[in-house]
Chain A
Amino acid sequence: MTDLTGKTALVTGGSRGIGAAIARRLALSGAHVAVNYAGNRAAAEALVAEIAAAGGSGFAVQADVSTLAGIEALFAACDAAFGGAPNLDILINNAGIGRGGRDGTLKGASEDLFDELMAVNVKGPHFVTQAALPRLRDHGRIVNIGSMSGKVGQPFAASYAMTKRAIQSLTFSTALAVAKRQITCNCIAPGAVATEFIAALRAQPGWDEATAKHTPMGRIGEPEDIAGAVMMLVGDDARWVTGQVIEASGGLAL
């Protein structure tokens, strides 16, 4: 089992869904975890309280990671909790948005939707990583959360899918930038996961059943499945694995 005692971690978008499962898993493995959230303070604080009740250590940090001002505020709070740089062992770029019920098709997507997706899903991880570079300790870990949408065509969510292909590219470049310090950077690409993020899809009659049937392992993913895949990459055993895009999807779209 991977023991993260004494390590620090930052999970962006960590209050709900996949991010919350990752934050919980890292904290319960011993890490001191910064749980970033954009708007849902109650969810973030409930998670931190749950972690504390289980004997772990975490704190909630409000910040909009789609702006540099937000990212500066996020790291100021982390520095206050973790001490002087280098002070970070694990960075999880998880925060991301979908089309939020709007028209995300190639044909219909608005400029506003496109710009918002790029700001949160691409600009966010790019500048969070940039800000984290001087803070990361040698042998650190960066895990970017991508999507199977970065692999397969998504005409109904074309711009979202572009952002998830872009984070693959960021993963490769970051891996090369940090390799000499024995820091790894990899991307986990989830398939369909039962979270609020895909509530609109799941509201369609028969969607869950059809997706489970389509998934070789015969079910929809759970946030804990993705957290497990992240855990796999943060331990010492994964030290020689870097720049990889690893699908955690139960075999979907192989």
Chain B
Amino acid sequence: MELAGKTALVTGGSRGIGAAIARRLALSGAHVAINYAGNRAAAETLAAEIAAAGGRAFAVQADVGTLDGIRSMLDACDAAFGGAPNLDILVNNAGIGGEGDAGSLTQCSEQLFDRMIAVNQKAPHFITQFCLERLRDRGRIVNIGSLGGRSALPPFAAYAATKRALQSLTMSTAVVVARRGITCNLVAPGAVDTEFNSALLERPGWAESTAKLTPMKRLGVPEDIADAVMMLVRDEAHWVTGQIVEASGGLFL
């Protein structure tokens, strides 16, 4: 077990990409905190699934869009993992988009904008800040971005802006933690078949045309992204830090 004896926190870990990451880390031997905002059933089902497969995981409810939420999440982690330093792997995965056209440049409300900033930017910033003292030397931080952080996505302008900001946080964090042998990188998924993209997936022909547009000729699945995260968590990736790694099957190259 490659990650035996290690601990991990995955924010937004109950569904989609986050669930695939939590599952992969846990089945590789890590003890995983699965943070969720609202879907308790999904988080507990995943924790049970991991336990049934011989792994260790627990669900932690917290709204990471507030500092109170972040504090309560890390309290729960400390209770499970023991005194600091107690964390080996932090995956800042929690993120929100907008329903339908609600997040477009032309339609986006101030309320939705502020909420996206809170969950997609403020959360990883302060979770990282609070985890600095908890992370062990040679730890790993992986932020989950998006191809929207590089390419124009007018229907999701504010969301894309938050993902560009996360690239910036990745570079700053990498420099801050480097002396301790901790790396910080960002994995930027392309189009992935999850509930997050359900509005797009429901549009007639969207899945087919996106698969066709992708050089590897299919949509991504959450496991593709989880495996890219695993690639960066391994010891052999110790000299790779501050990088934006697209996991997209070649989309928008």
Contacts and interface: CB of A to CB of B under 8 A. Distances in A.
B181 to A, nearest CB: 7
Interface residues of B, number: 35
A152 interface: no
A242 B217 CA distance: 13
Contacts of B171: 254
B133 to A, nearest CB: 19
Contacts of A241: 228, 231, 245-247
Contacts of B231: 232-233, 235, 237-238, 241
B236 A240 contact: no
A86 B241 CA distance: 35
Interface in B216-236: 216-217, 220, 224-225, 227-228, 230-232, 234-236
B242 interface: yes
B215 A180 contact: yes
A105 to B, nearest CB: 29
Nearest to A221: B239
A78 to B, nearest CB: 26
Given A175-B250, A176-B215, A254 B175 contact: yes
A231 interface: yes
Chief secondary structure at chain B's binding surface? mixed
B52 interface: no
Most chain A CB atoms below 10 A, which of B178, B224, B234, B236: B236
Nearest to B230: A237
A155 B227 CA distance: 39
A172 interface: yes
Given A176-B253, A216-B175, A241-B247, A254 B242 contact: yes
Nearest to A215: B178
B253 A243 contact: yes
B237 A240 contact: no
A236 interface: yes
A21 B178 CA distance: 23
A219 to B, nearest CB: 10
Given A240-B228, A241-B231, 12 more contacts: A172-B253, A179-B249, A180-B216, A215-B178, A216-B178, A216-B241, A216-B242, A238-B231, A243-B246, A246-B243, A248-B240, A254-B242
Interface of B: 2, 171, 174-175, 178-179, 181, 215-217, 220, 224-225, 227-228, 230-232, 234-243, 245-250, 253
